[in-house]
A and B are shown apart, each in its own frame.
Chain A
Amino acid sequence: MTGGKMVVGWRISRPTVTSLRWWCLSALFVILVSLWFNAAHYTFKRRSEEWVLWPVTVRMFAPSYLSANNDEQIRFTVENMDSKAVDVAFRLINSGTLWDFPKQAENNNVYSGPIQSQEQIYRAVDLYLPASISQVYRMRGKDAGLNISGGLVSATPRTIPIPVQVAPILQAKQLADYCGIALFGLVIWLVRGLWDKIGERAR
């Protein structure tokens, strides 16, 4: 009660030099949260697919969005479902507008050779997609253009498009990591500051 008037509810105090620091930290927090959520959205999503090319079954596990200018990995398994051994050959083909640099064994072979009955072959293909900011932005909502091509050596090879896209943010993977660390530090800082303030008031 002051001067016959009671202050009810809360209000934001007028800005001071001290509060400017808090406003700056809040603005930084909002920026980091937004950047991290966006980068993480493109980084943590994964998808798996299965294609049956009798007598073999090809399974794939890959990021839903490939991060341009970062190392990425697509994992494949090729399983022979037949009762006898078969010879197969599978390659990763790029028909998209971005280049891809396959890093596994310095070529785009996923697997070529015999597979025994009920045998499963595992291969991880490392990729690097070099791109500029305008290129990745133009590819928003479109598939990256990667295909898995092959099948039995004795048959005509089939080409299957891999349903992964390119993240519209450059180096999304790296950005998610850095923003995550910075955000964690900032949250610790803010909580510590608030804790000190509460302690000060209590005293």
Chain B
Amino acid sequence: MTGDRQGGQLMKRAANSVAGKIGTRATILAADDDHKFLEEVKEILENEGYGVITATNPFDAKRILGDGLVDLALLDIRLTDMNDEKDRSGLIIAREIAPQIPKILVTSYLPYRDNSEEKGLPANVSFVSKQAGLDTIVYSVKSTLASIKRSSAPDGREDETALEGSAEMAPKEKPGFEKSVRAKWLTQKSPIMALILLLLALLAGVLAMVLENPILLIGTVAAAILAVVLIGVSISIE
């Protein structure tokens, strides 16, 4: 009973937030360390008219949720490392950060649902399987936002604008998340530049052998280190 009451309060608080945005689009945080999946989710939600902010690690996800800039969060459970079976970073964020914001835990590992760790999660946290496909995820997003609207509407009617998003509204970046063009360019291009640097490093190694000049090995080591530094810098910018 206490849990239901607490859940109701959380839904109301979230509803107030979304209700204040009637006429503007709802903003969703999508957090996943799988970039490909994240881009697909972002694309489909933006096509539905929602504003999407992405995070690829728990720190960014916490920061964005903590700032209260979103109406709903789609969180991957294994947010730090998708291969680490002990990784529960998404679950911890859902439990501890911004409980007033409804969250959907997206995971490939649905056994989490039956896990005792689900206990202690706020009532506005739900689960959806990655395998169920993007359409199911979009449906979950719409349903969750609609339920928030219903709880906020005085006569309990559904507000269609929340369900559809509002693609016609001009997309507006949240302050603090604007990246300089250079930073964006570096983030996008750094893997290919790092790959080229590694190839150059290898080439320097081959030349050192062919020309019998070991000084060129310094170029090999320098280029390889530079490639890693480049990736590190782009991650820190990201």
A168 at the interface (CB under 8 A from B): yes
Query: Does more than half of chain A's interface fall in helix, strand or loop, or is it mixed?
Result: helix
- By the criterion CB–CB under 8 Å, are A34 and B202 in contact? yes
Residues from chain A with a CB closer than 8 A to the CB of B190 are 15
- By the criterion CB–CB under 8 Å, are A140 and B191 in contact? no
Scan B173-206; emit 1 where CB is below 8 A from any A CB, else 0: 0000000000000011011101100100110111
What's the least CB distance linking B180 to chain A, in Å? 17
- The one of B57, B83, B217, B234 in contact with A34, judged by C-beta atoms closer than 8 angstroms, is B217
- By the criterion CB–CB under 8 Å, are B191 and A2 in contact? no
In the A-B complex, the 8 residue pairs with the closest CB atoms: A34-B205, A27-B224, A12-B191, A13-B35, A34-B220, A2-B40, A3-B43, A23-B231
B56 at the interface (CB under 8 A from A): yes
- By the criterion CB–CB under 8 Å, are B235 and A16 in contact? yes
Residues from chain A with a CB closer than 8 A to the CB of B153 are none
> Which residue on chain A has the smallest CB distance to residue B45?
A3
Residues from chain B with a CB closer than 8 A to the CB of A191 are none
- The one of A3, A23, A28, A33 in contact with B202, judged by C-beta atoms closer than 8 angstroms, is A33
> Which residue on chain B has the smallest CB distance to residue A27?
B224
- The one of B35, B213, B228, B235 in contact with A27, judged by C-beta atoms closer than 8 angstroms, is B228
Residues of A that sit less than 8 Å from B by CB: 2-5, 12-20, 23-24, 26-28, 30-31, 33-35, 37-38, 41, 137, 140-141, 168-169, 196-197, 200
- The one of B202, B206, B212, B214 in contact with A141, judged by C-beta atoms closer than 8 angstroms, is B212
Bound Cα distance A23, B194 (Å): 8
- By the criterion CB–CB under 8 Å, are A197 and B205 in contact? no
- By the criterion CB–CB under 8 Å, are B134 and A2 in contact? yes
What's the least CB distance linking B49 to chain A, in Å? 12
Contact status of A140 and B212, CB under 8 A, knowing A20-B235, A34-B201: yes
> Interface size (B, Cβ < 8 Å)?
45
Give the number of residue pairs across the A-B interface with Cβ within 8 Å.
Answer: 111
Bound Cα distance A15, B201 (Å): 20
- By the criterion CB–CB under 8 Å, are B57 and A2 in contact? no
What's the least CB distance linking B32 to chain A, in Å? 10
> Which residue on chain A has the smallest CB distance to residue B215?
A137
B33 at the interface (CB under 8 A from A): yes
Other A-B pairs beyond A27-B228, A168-B214, 16, CB < 8 Å = A4-B47, A14-B187, A14-B191, A15-B194, A15-B235, A16-B35, A16-B56, A17-B235, A18-B33, A26-B227, A30-B202, A30-B224, A33-B205, A34-B206, A34-B208, A140-B212
> Which residue on chain A has the smallest CB distance to residue B235?
A15
Contact status of A12 and B195, CB under 8 A, knowing A3-B47, A38-B214, A197-B83: yes
- By the criterion CB–CB under 8 Å, are A168 and B213 in contact? yes
What's the least CB distance linking A53 to chain B, in Å? 32
